[in-house]
Structure formats: structure tokens, C-alpha cells
């Protein structure tokens, strides 16, 4: 799964996606569910744009917005058919930029957090879905991160990991006319050779802690 991650530099994300960036990003080293995050999606005119979305997808048919808190991740195995995600998978896919994400390894006396990132420090992108929800005057655009089985690097830490979309697959993932088989073929664990995972301190366990020291190796 993916329950925490970082987003720290809007300029790098605009370059990564070759997208317009008409938003302001406050760097975060400890993003938690229900917060506003940056995502890349197609505009109505067809170009790529960076938008702010609430993390935790709210299906358009939901009666209230709080249901989104439980939908921060969508399983790759069922995302095309599960009612909560089916429409978004067909029509509203996005890319969620990050510099790295956190995962917790079971252990005694406590879980050990790890930071996972690219070895070269470059930003990369999660596969995401987004949805529009509204009730009277309240309107919310929200999103979820698609997760799949862990690769060999992540497996000793956790059995799931976010789907990482490589730059050459950005266009197929965002293409509103893309066929289902092609989309599903992208939802697989990424090769472990480009990633690094290492243990970090327990400060990340507290959502209020948010500074670069969270990613320091211990």
C-alpha cells in the first residue's frame, strides 16, 4: 500500500510531465490522507496540467465526502471492475508525482519505517485515478493511488507497493481513449534496480512532523 509520501518541488514535477503549473505547492515530507496533493491530469483542452486534488477518492455517487479517507489506495487487481473505481479507471486517470514514499516493516517492539526513493534522487510518478464529487455548493476533486504486489526490494518490508509509471508510459496512462488491456498491462511492480530503500527514524509516525530530517537514514 501507500499511506505516506513526499512532494517537495513543483518545478521538477512540471518538467517531469511537461505540464503547465498554475498552482503553488508547499513542500511536504509527510503527506497523509485527506490532504491536498499535486497530480497531473489532462485538461479539458487536452494538454497536461498540474492540479490540486484531495487524497482519498470520493466516488461521484457517494452521499458524503468522508468516505474518501478509506480510498487512498486502489488495488490493481480489481481497479477496473470495483464500483468505487471503475468509472475513474475508464475516464479519469492521473499521475501523482513524488520524491519518495514510506512503508512500515512489521517488527518488535514496533514497526520500522523505511523511505523508498530513486537512487538518483529524481522525482517519479504513481499511477492515480481522480474523481469529481459535488453536493449543492460543495465540490471536491479527489484521487487515489493504484497499488500492486511488491517487487523484490519492497517485499521484505511490505507485500504491496504503489504502481510507478515510467515517463514513456505517461501518455498511454493519461490517454482517455486507451484500451483496457493496455492500461492493465501498466499496473505491475516496477524493476527494483532504480530504487533504494533504507530505515529511517520514528518521527515520520507523527503526521505533524514535516521536514527533510524525516528521510534521513538511521
**Catalytic positions:** 2, 103
Scanning the chain, the segments in alpha helix (DSSP H) are 10-17, 83-91, 170-174, 180-185
Residue 83's contacts (CB-CB under 8 Å, 6 or more residues apart) are 59
Q: Which three cell numbers stand for residue 16?
A: 517531469
Q: Work out whether strand 36-42 and strand 48-55 pair parallel, antiparallel, or are unpaired.
A: antiparallel
One DSSP character per residue, 119-139 reads TT---EEEEEEEEEEEETTEE
Task: Return the residue matching grid coordinates 517537495.
Answer: 8
Amino acid at each position: 500500500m501507500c499511506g505516506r509520501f513526499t512532494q517537495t518541488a513543483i518545478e521538477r514535477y512540471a518538467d517531469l510531465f511537461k505540464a503547465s503549473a498554475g498552482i503553488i505547492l508547499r513542500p511536504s515530507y509527510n503527506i497523509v490522507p485527506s490532504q491536498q496533493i499535486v497530480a497531473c491530469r489532462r485538461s479539458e483542452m487536452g494538454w497536461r496540467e498540474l492540479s490540486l486534488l484531495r487524497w482519498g477518492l470520493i466516488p461521484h455517487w457517494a452521499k458524503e465526502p468522508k468516505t474518501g479517507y478509506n480510498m487512498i489506495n486502489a488495488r490493481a487487481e480489481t481497479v477496473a471492475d470495483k464500483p468505487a473505481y471503475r468509472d475513474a479507471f475508464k475516464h479519469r486517470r492521473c499521475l501523482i508525482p513524488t520524491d519518495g514514499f514510506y512503508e512500515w516493516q512489521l517488527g518488535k517492539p514496533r514497526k520500522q519505517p523505511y523511505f523508498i526513493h530513486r537512487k538518483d534522487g529524481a522525482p517519479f510518478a504513481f499511477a492515480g485515478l481522480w474523481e469529481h464529487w459535488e453536493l449543492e455548493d460543495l465540490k471536491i476533486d479527489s484521487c487515489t493511488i493504484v497499488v500492486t504486489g511488491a517487487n523484490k526490494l519492497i517485499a521484505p518490508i511490505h507485500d504491496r507497493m504503489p504502481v510507478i509509471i515510467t515517463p514513456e508510459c505517461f501518455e498511454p496512462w493519461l490517454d482517455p481513449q486507451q484500451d483496457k488491456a493496455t492500461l492493465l498491462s501498466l499496473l505491475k511492480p516496477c524493476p527494483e534496480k532504480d530504487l533504494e530503500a533504507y530505515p529511517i527514524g520514528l518521527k515520520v509516525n507523527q503526521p505533524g512532523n514535516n521536514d527533510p530530517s524525516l528521510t534521513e537514514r538511521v
